[in-house]
Amino acid sequence: MFVSGFIFPVLFPLAQLVLIACAAFFVLDIILLFRKSTLLVCRRTTGKMFSLGNENPVRLDVINHSAQKLIITIIDEIPFQFQLRGLSMHIVLKAGEKQSLGYNLRPVVRGEYVFNNINLFAKTNFGLVQRRFVMESNENVRVYPSIIDMKKYELLAMAKISNYQGIKKIRRLGHSYEFEQIKNYVSGDDFRSINWKATSRKADLMVNQYEDERSQQVYSLIDKSRTMRMPFNGMSLLDYSINASLVISNISLKKHDKAGLLTFSDKIGSSIKADRGKNQLRLILEALYNEEERKMEANYELMYNAVRNLIRGRSLIFFYTNFESLYALERVLPLLRKINSTHLLVVIFFENTEVKDFSSLPAKNIEDIYLKTIAQKFVSEKNQVVQLLRQYGIQSILTRPENLSINTVNKYLELKARGMI
């Protein structure tokens, strides 16, 4: 308008008025934002601990203690491990209003995470000036093996009937179970369990109720050598094994069994003797939290000696490892057979999901045919490993990493129901 005023003089005084008005609104905006009565408060709420590999909620409570409406942009300084650069939220708060908003974080590495300051950038409806409010914070949160999965699968496994995909009820074979109580007969009870003496005394049908045998030892044996460093969806195979170990340890304790832990690589790591005391789950949780992958090859002879010295009495052993070839299994098969002769061994290893998915894609040229043939060879070797283990009477689970926990729980419930432990 000032430039145009040189050509059209009538615009020059109008431009001056507009400039004065803009300056007045600018000063007014500064006064409204920076006066003492303009105050914002924000509090962050997180869980006491985060669960590895799960979406963990973080809540922000923002309160506008001002006498005016404010437009606010919130930037939370989250831990550097997440590498999130553009996490910002926008809200509008009326005078005296409080709002809660939140977001989820999925940690893929165990350890300690630090949340720093919360930055609030406020402006009025004029939008000419922005004021920054800094809520100082230095909050530490530990990322433990998945507590969320542990509680979820506990509820599903303890339920008598579950419609959740993967959890299945196994029919009991025979009566190799401990006597629990005598109860009234209801439709569906096994008529072979009728207690005729109690029936004659009560003049009503009574049946014996049995429960799974208790105080059996369940060990998680974890290989943390370099073969378990392979990543899948941001997490290593070791971390998936650690989550599944916590889940199965918790369920076995709830089923009144004893849970134990043994980890190894080129040397022995954590070793917790099977027990069902009050602090057993916490001991296992803390041990799993501190486990780290190692770059060395696994020493299976050392593992065998540790199993023989630590585990007394017949036990169920879930062995988490990864065999990429038939040759890798054949090297350790004699030791696995020795362990299986005195214990019930379940070898758990992983599908190479990328190779398997690639092998099912259609081939478009000769190069694709060659690559697909190699991929199918690797997939076939995994299945041969399962067949070889079965040939020697060793239980096995070949699973995708994301299905590890549910498949391990299923195997445990199946072995319990069949009275094999």
The model's confidence at residue 184, banded by pLDDT at 50, 70 and 90, is confident
**What single string gives the DSSP state of each residue in 41-55?**
EEEEE--SEEETTS-
Average pLDDT, the chain: 88
Out of 3.10.310.30, 3.40.50.720, 2.60.40.10, 2.30.30.20, the CATH code matching 42-144 is 2.60.40.10
Domain boundary assignment for the chain? 42-144, 147-172+212-417, 179-211
In sequence order, the β-bridge partners of residue 61 are 43, 100
Closest CA to 172 of 154, 195, 189: 189
Give the pLDDT confidence score for residue 124 in this predicted structure: 92
Return the percentage of the chain with pLDDT > 90, whole number: 60
Q: Grade residue 142 by pLDDT with cuts at 50, 70 and 90.
A: very high
Topology classification of domain 147-172+212-417: Rossmann fold (3.40.50)
> pLDDT of 385-394, one tens digit each?
999 999 999 9
For residue 146 the two structure tokens come to 């998945």
Q: Over the stretch 157-169, which tens digit does the pLDDT of each residue have?
A: 766 434 444 444 4
| Nearest CA among 270, 306, 274 for reference residue 289 | 270
